[in-house]
Amino acid sequence: MELIPAIDVIQGRCVRLSQGDYAREKVYHEHPLEVAKAFEDAGLRRVHVVDLDGAKARHIVNWKVLEQLSAGTSLTIDFGGGLKSDDDLRIAFECGASMVTGGSIAVHEPEVFCRWLQTYGSDRIILGSDVREGKIAVDGWQEETDLELLPYLKDYMQKGVRMTVCTDISVDGMLQGPSVALYRDILQALPDLFLIASGGVSSLSDLEALAQAGLPAVIFGKALYEGRIKLSEISRLLC
């Protein structure tokens, strides 16, 4: 299972939210580049960067942070948050993203998202499928839709999606464990989907549970920042 640490950015700083609530923000580091370098030194090879300002503003905001991470590390960067236009996408790739995750754009403007898939390929365009109580949520998790998760994923797989980051908002940032049952259901229904779990990881045992459930990759952040999982432990796992 691929281990992908997360860096969430507000006003250029490394933060985490609880259940996607911007009023429950905690700053962990003033300099995301230093955080990314620590991840790289631990042997991690990829990072998931979320522009939380961008998600709220509905356009890319923290592109300078992306540029710094790309120039200062050799990490593969998956970038998301606020990518709503061709220009946003161009800026993200020009600033060093290897892949981008699009969530809200896939709901609001599916024709644009599908064009991105056709232009850049399913290895560079990842579907963000953030879910609350079985329904897709968008715009920095501020808006819920009537879209049911599994039919939504099936439809986009038919349109060429190969990878999705699926975050259960109810557990994100809560350090109470990931939604393993939800991910098992998705894998059973859609075995060809490269499913990246996100949200709720609190310990090494949570990572082990996801691996045993067959998840090909997992994104986690707060457990690292809170010291629940040590980078030294991650280094041993990667050996």
Tell me: the pLDDT tens digits for 179-208? 999 999 999 999 999 999 998 999 999 999
Percent of the chain with pLDDT over 90: 80
Return d(Cα 114, Cα 105) in angstroms, integer: 10
pLDDT of residue 72: 98
Q: How does residue 169 score in pLDDT terms, banded at 50, 70 and 90?
A: confident
Active site residues: 8, 130
Q: How does residue 120 score in pLDDT terms, banded at 50, 70 and 90?
A: very high
Higher per-residue pLDDT: 143 or 120 = 120
In the numeric block, the tokens 């056709």 are attached to: 118
CB 88 within 8 A of CB 59: yes
Its pTM stands at 0.93
Domains of the chain: 2-238 (3.20.20.70)
pLDDT of residue 121: 97
Q: What is the average pLDDT value for the chain, to the nearest integer?
A: 93
